[in-house]
Amino acid sequence: LYLEVKDLKQLVTILALLALAAPHIVTAQNVQPETVRAMGVDASAPQWCAVTSAGRQPDAAAAGRNTIGPIGADVRIVDLVDPTTLSTRAARTIVGFEAACNYPHRLTVRSQNNGLRRGAGATGQGIALAVPYTASLNWGELGISFFADAQSPIELARVGTSAGAVAGPLTVQVDIQAGATNLGPNSPLGAGEYSDVISIEMGPL
């Protein structure tokens, strides 16, 4: 840098300008355009499963199948009793859920009553109070089925595992055979309300 100074006034002026410009000159000398900054991002998605509300699945084999619903989470058997035999009338329902689980998981299916079981009410000699059924669950490559034999009011559980994440339909089919009761074929069913709760649980292995 060369400056020709002719008098004192000019010198003062130049010094003043240099003083003002000095910080910027220093800064300019520190700029290094070739600098690279590495930014590592380490993140993980949470493990989760989700199941939507239930919906009826088409059953091409027979219309109706003596059930209605689900309405909410309830499937209703239209005629539980055959009017001729007073025993169980056949019924079937196929219920679908939209479900997803983004990690290898365990799937547990439970029957609360081990069959459709009657609540309070009289029993009596030769009168059945529970209805057996077969439940079949399909979820991805996984299939779980069980027979709730209605012999005793205990919780029934079946467990399956999925080695990977699964997303898609989860279906539950419930089949009730004609004449099926806890006392044997074609026993009359005692009057009252019969029900069971099937629980589907997804969780860690």
Partner 1 sequence: MNAFTIIGWACGLVTLLVSTGIQAQEAIPNTVSQLRVGGSAPGVCRIASPTTLSSDNAVFDTRSVNSGQVTITQLANPVNGIARASQISLSFAAVCNVAHSMTIRSLSGGVTRAEGPVAGAFSDRIDYDVEARWAGASVSRRYTGASGVLVIPVADGAAGTLELSLQTIGGGSPLASGRYFEEVIVELAAAS
Query: Which residues are near partner 1 by CB under 8 A?
Result: 35, 37-44, 46-51, 54, 70, 73-81, 83, 86, 91, 93, 95, 97, 101, 116, 118, 121-127, 133, 172, 174, 187-204
Whole-angstrom distance, CA of residue 138 vs CA of residue 96? 10
Q: Which residues of 114-152 are buried (b: 16+ CB within 10 A; e: fewer)?
A: bbbbbeeeeeeeebbbbbbbbbebbbbeeebebebebee
CA dihedral 106, 112, 115, 118 (to 10 degrees): -170
Smaller CB separation from partner 1, 10 or 161: 161
Whole-angstrom distance, CA of residue 45 vs CA of residue 136? 32
Shortest distance, CB of residue 63 to partner 1, whole angstroms?
Answer: 18
Q: For tokens 């000159």, name the residue.
A: 25
Whole-angstrom distance, CA of residue 131 vs CA of residue 81? 11
Shortest distance, CB of residue 179 to partner 1, whole angstroms?
Answer: 14
Smaller CB separation from partner 1, 12 or 55: 55
Smaller CB separation from partner 1, 160 or 192: 192
The tokens describing 169, both together, are 């339909």
Smaller CB separation from partner 1, 118 or 146: 118
Shortest distance, CB of residue 21 to partner 1, whole angstroms?
Answer: 29
Nearest by Cα to 192 from 114, 78, 109, 80: 80
Shortest distance, CB of residue 20 to partner 1, whole angstroms?
Answer: 31
Count how many residues are written for the chain: 205
Smaller CB separation from partner 1, 13 or 64: 64
Shortest distance, CB of residue 65 to partner 1, whole angstroms?
Answer: 12
